[in-house]
A = this chain, B = another copy of it.
């Protein structure tokens, strides 16, 4: 097929499209920077938030830098310089994605607040959206740039490729994804702990002890709280989605290179090219979506955000159809004689995209107005019934989300086998640019509201930012659920990659060793969720101690004559958030190593399966229960069931407070956990297969696996010879 070869020739240069995407991102950033940053008070506030964000970023960068260097050194020894370099590259891209979003958010917030002073929505809405676009397009562009460059450097022009290159490339890409995943762990979970600790710290000491209202500049934790919103929701979600997107591409590439349904050089080239083309198409569609927002004149912000997302998804699907058509797949299973339609990979991507939209719809149902009303009405019976209603809603919502993921997996598998599952994940995540844009909109609107409050910009501006904030919350809940579904689908794809790559004939659930792995895997998300909730409480206590220390040490702070040391509060929260990451991080990396080396690769497969199922269910439960409580409180704020200050409102606040660590720390930590465990397993395959417990387990039919093992054994042998000789 001539067309196919022509298109795969372009794969080498897709990273340039990533660079172009970064260029567009820079353009939007420059336009954003030129918008009026408000009066002196506002600029002062913004400067403080920015310096807080910088302090957070700097400390994270230092700690992560040290971690990445040590991990890279270890990888260098175990897996060679290629994997180690890719690991550093993945970590850098992820860090860049996270920080782009953070820095854009802390500049867009004050400009949104300024725009909110002028009547009519569009200006404020578009400013916040532009800030989100910087975060979103940075994530999408970096995902394409990173994976595209890996392809370019790892495989090179296809006409000079040797078969061997595929294997080297597989090592490299899993290193890249692991680097991204490590950063995501810190940015998302650490960011979440930071955000909720400063939130609780500011509220509890401020309102309860020092008798100052919320969002008061005299409270040393107020600015930290605003920084936290950006750190958790922008940097954290950016790193999470970047990782999911990169991991989905990598799973597709790994399956594409090892799966037996993809026979022949041309098919493998097309299979490896397609995920990169899909991400490129998603980037183009996202840029189009961002510019579409400038044209539409929306009355309802939430509806505008949703329609822009849907438009991007539609454009992406059009492009994806063309790409799959042009690549001309010819897929079939030689063993079973099954032949797939040449558009199968497109159907798989379609299933992924639709699943993402369906998960959003389900979430809107369980956290939307009806759920909010039900929980608000339950709140009339006191905090216990608020909590029970929210928990029930959360638990209920997790079943349909999982069923949707199952449906996508089933459809994708039917369309093109294991490769289809990986492509479904790619299809769901290709439009990550617009998704992240819409998500980053939320914390910017939230921050703008804080600045409007702190800067006394009046009720009109307040109403504008509150409208944006509500829209941001609605879409935020939906995208949080989307990120879970994406992590789930990516994990299943990574799982398929693991299975395909290990080349096991099967992971037998009748074997008690596999069952033990499965049960242990299932327990890990519960342990990590418990740890994360405890971590938030601990970090919040540290922030509260710092606030008390400042207030009691300097009476001028409460009188408003001395500015509080906000940077110190940020620093305390950052240090604690990072410290609390150690145990979950060790668990996520250590458990696969222990189980894989101790019980074997089949038990490790069982463990990944167990962790995925409980991780996804817990994540959905916690995220949606948290969002539902949040919405219920907001609903009561509008004056129903007794309104603000009533007993039901008090009860709803209890639900909301419980929901905060649920939806912003413990829930999202599951996303990272299940992906990181899968990636570590994937990266360790060659090492694991070399251990006595796994001797002879790689299926002989899968030549690349054994060659990798051979290569590793040879490398170790060479190293030993070099050392001893």
Contact = CB atoms under 8 A, between A and B. Distances in A.
Contact of A617 (B409, B526, B605): B526
Contact of A519 (B406, B504, B508, B509): B406
Interface stretch (A25-33, A216-224, A266-274, A380-388): A380-388
Given A509-B507, A515-B495, A614 B399 contact: no
Question: In the complex, which of the residues A421, A653, A658 has the most CB atoms of chain B within 10 Å of its own CB atom?
Answer: A658
Interface in A366-401: 378, 381-385, 387-389, 391-396, 398-399
Please provide the 5 A-B residue pairs with the shortest distance between their CB atoms, ordered closest to farther: A395-B530, A384-B657, A522-B613, A506-B508, A507-B509
Contacts of A616: 519
Contacts of A310: none
A403 B614 contact: no
Nearest to A661: B388
19 contacts: A388-B533, A392-B530, A392-B534, A395-B526, A399-B524, A399-B526, A399-B530, A405-B519, A409-B519, A418-B512, A499-B510, A506-B506, A507-B510, A509-B518, A509-B609, A510-B605, A518-B613, A519-B616, A522-B613
Nearest to A405: B519
B410 A512 contact: yes
A204 interface: yes
Given A388-B658, A396-B527, A515-B609, 11 more contacts: A387-B387, A389-B537, A392-B534, A393-B530, A395-B530, A402-B522, A406-B516, A507-B509, A508-B509, A526-B621, A613-B614
B384 A520 contact: no
A492 interface: yes
Contacts of A534: 392
A654 interface: yes
Given A383-B383, A406-B519, A530-B395, A509 B506 contact: yes
Question: In the complex, which of the residues A409, A504, A613 has the most CB atoms of chain B within 10 Å of its own CB atom?
Answer: A613
Contacts of A531: 396
Interface string A599-616: 000000110011011101
B658 A387 contact: yes
Identical copies in the complex: 2
B388 A527 contact: no
A103 interface: no
A525 to B, nearest CB: 9
A613 B519 contact: yes
A492 B515 contact: yes
Nearest to A499: B510
B526 A409 contact: no
Contact of A613 (B421, B512, B610): B610
How would you classify the secondary structure of chain A's contact residues: helix, strand, loop or mixed? helix
A403 B518 CA distance: 11
Given A392-B534, A402-B522, A522-B617, A383 B654 contact: yes
Nearest to A537: B388
Interface string A506-548: 1111111111101110111011011101100100000000000
A388 B390 CA distance: 14
Contact of A523 (B398, B409, B657): B398
B520 A658 contact: no
Contacts of A396: 526-527, 530-531
B512 A409 contact: yes
A166 interface: no
A653 B384 CA distance: 9
A316 interface: no
B507 A605 contact: no
Contacts of A533: 388, 391-392, 395
A518 B385 CA distance: 32
Interface in A613-650: 613-614, 616-617, 621
A39 B154 CA distance: 90
A169 interface: no
Interface in A486-503: 492, 495-496, 499
